[in-house]
């Protein structure tokens, strides 16, 4: 699969170069403030929501965990590349077109920021299409990008609040007040906006309709921009009074809808995986007694506990490799059954079947078949 290797190399080179450039830009921006204490407090406060938010997206990603390297790349893209690209574009717009701050925040920022964030998912679609199986993958990658973007942007906001503008409280009091709004009440804002892009690209990946493949990402980007613009504009309407209205009637409902959709898609993936692996059994790719220990998340954990008791660390490692390969095969086979196989799916499928056959003798699966129950 030389084409796939070339794409992987292109992806690695592009992301590395982009992150290096982004690091230079953001380092210049932060160091030019001349206030290391403000930056230190900004970093500390900005880091507080990152762990819980990342944990939420990793929890969603348990059925077919995405490569940790790609998730870290998504986080880094949001933190370094998207922030620096959007910042440069907004500075250029400010000096070339001299737009007022309100217009820049409500129109320019949403367009540039969502484009810069969504570019990573498009890059995955171009170079690593095999890792995008549907809507949930798009949600997870978009969420990680949004978390990274919010982290860096929050550093800038908290640092500026610490320095103060001469009109309100400065120091730790000013930074803490900003943290309450951005870090406690709306830490999910940037992930939420970009998730619309992820949903659009996820729909495009799993549909057979050419029209949907084109329109879904465009509509997703448009929704991201519109929600972002309304959210930013709310801070300027009525001297900020509209902010709480937008929070209660825009952000919270949108957040709940996206959460409900993500949970529904996640549960649907369990049903899909059972169906796809059941078909794999009929074709001789997987053995019947293996499927129950692959589909349900509690059963996977039970199988790993058994593997540790029977085979120690070696047994657990073999079982984890086996489960990962089987689950990837299930998702790949589902796309084949739906008529939307990714490029080189036959070669990938054969490689996974051979991997399962090689691992099978070393995998200590429990004897009893687990009962059907929750997929949580």
Contact 332, 352 (CB under 8 A): yes
> Do 159 and 278 lie in a common domain?
no
Per-residue DSSP letter, 168: S
pLDDT value at position 1?
A: 53
Token pair 């220990």 is found at 293
DSSP H or E stretch at residue 318? helix 297-337
Greatest Cα pair distance, the chain, in angstroms, is 72
* 372: number of Cβ within 10 Å: 11
Q: Taking the chain (376 residues) in consecutive chunks of 10 residues, what is each chunk's mean pLDDT?
A: 71 93 93 87 96 95 91 97 94 81 84 97 91 93 97 95 80 92 92 97 92 96 96 80 84 91 90 95 94 91 92 92 95 92 89 96 78 45
> Do 285 and 230 lie in a common domain?
no
> Do 214 and 298 lie in a common domain?
no
pLDDT value at position 76?
A: 97
pLDDT value at position 368?
A: 59
Cα distance between residue 288 and residue 295, in whole Å: 12
> Do 201 and 99 lie in a common domain?
yes
pLDDT value at position 183?
A: 93
> Do 203 and 278 lie in a common domain?
no
> Do 228 and 286 lie in a common domain?
no
Q: Give Cβ neighbours of residue 60 (< 8 Å, ≥ 6 apart).
A: 136, 139, 140, 143, 262, 263, 266
Domain that holds residue 328: 271-362
Cα distance between residue 172 and residue 321, in whole Å: 48
> Do 230 and 275 lie in a common domain?
no
pLDDT value at position 91?
A: 87
Which among 234, 250, 281 is the end of a domain?
A: 234
pTM: 0.91
* 68: number of Cβ within 10 Å: 9
Cα distance between residue 107 and residue 230, in whole Å: 9
Sign of CA dihedral 89, 95, 96, 100: positive
Judged by DSSP in three states, 201 sits in helix
3-state secondary structure 38-88: HHHHHHHHHHCCHHHHHHHHHHHCCCCCCCHHHHHHHHHHHHHHHHHHHHH
> Do 161 and 60 lie in a common domain?
yes
Contact 139, 202 (CB under 8 A): yes
What's the token pair of residue 82?
Answer: 């998207």
pLDDT value at position 372?
A: 42
| CA-wise closest residue to 143 among 212, 83, 192 | 192
> Do 218 and 73 lie in a common domain?
yes
pLDDT value at position 44?
A: 96
How far the first Cα of the chain sits from its last, in Å, is: 36
């Amino acid at each position: 699969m030389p084409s796939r290797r070339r794409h992987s190399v292109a992806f690695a080179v592009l992301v590395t170069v982009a992150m290096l450039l982004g690091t230079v830009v953001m380092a210049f921006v932060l160091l030019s403030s001349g206030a290391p204490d403000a930056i230190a407090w900004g970093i500390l406060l900005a880091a507080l929501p990152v762990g819980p938010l990342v944990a939420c997206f990793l929890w969603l990603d348990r059925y077919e965990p995405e490569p940790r390297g790609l998730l870290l790349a998504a986080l880094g893209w949001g933190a370094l590349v998207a922030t620096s690209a959007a910042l440069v574009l907004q500075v250029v717009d400010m000096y070339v077109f001299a737009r007022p701050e309100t217009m820049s925040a409500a129109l320019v920022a949403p367009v540039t920021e969502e484009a810069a964030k969504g570019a990573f998912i498009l890059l995955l679609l171009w170079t690593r299409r095999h890792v995008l199986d549907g809507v949930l993958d798009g949600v997870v990658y978009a969420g990680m990008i949004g978390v990274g973007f919010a982290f860096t942007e929050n550093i800038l906001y908290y640092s500026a609040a610490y320095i103060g503008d001469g009109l309100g409280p400065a120091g730790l009091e000013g930074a803490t007040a900003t943290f309450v709004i951005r870090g406690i009440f709306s830490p999910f804002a940037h992930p939420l906006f970009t998730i619309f892009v992820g949903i659009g690209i996820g729909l495009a990946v799993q549909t057979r309709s050419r029209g949907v493949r084109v329109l879904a990402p465009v509509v997703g980007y448009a929704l991201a921009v519109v929600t972002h613009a309304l959210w930013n504009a709310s801070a300027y309407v009525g001297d900020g009074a509209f902010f709480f209205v937008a929070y209660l009637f825009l952000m919270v409902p949108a957040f709940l809808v996206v959460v409900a959709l993500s949970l529904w898609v996640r549960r649907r993936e369990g049903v899909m995986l059972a169906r796809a692996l059941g078909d794999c059994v009929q074709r001789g790719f997987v053995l019947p007694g293996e499927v129950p220990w692959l589909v349900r998340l509690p059963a996977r954990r039970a199988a790993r506990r058994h593997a540790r008791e029977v085979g120690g660390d070696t047994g657990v490692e073999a079982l984890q490799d086996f489960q990962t390969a089987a689950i990837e095969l299930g998702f790949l086979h589902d796309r084949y059954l739906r008529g939307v196989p990714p490029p080189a799916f036959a070669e990938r499928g054969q490689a996974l079947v051979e991997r399962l056959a090689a691992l099978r003798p070393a995998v200590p699966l429990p004897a009893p078949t687990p009962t059907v129950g929750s997929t949580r």
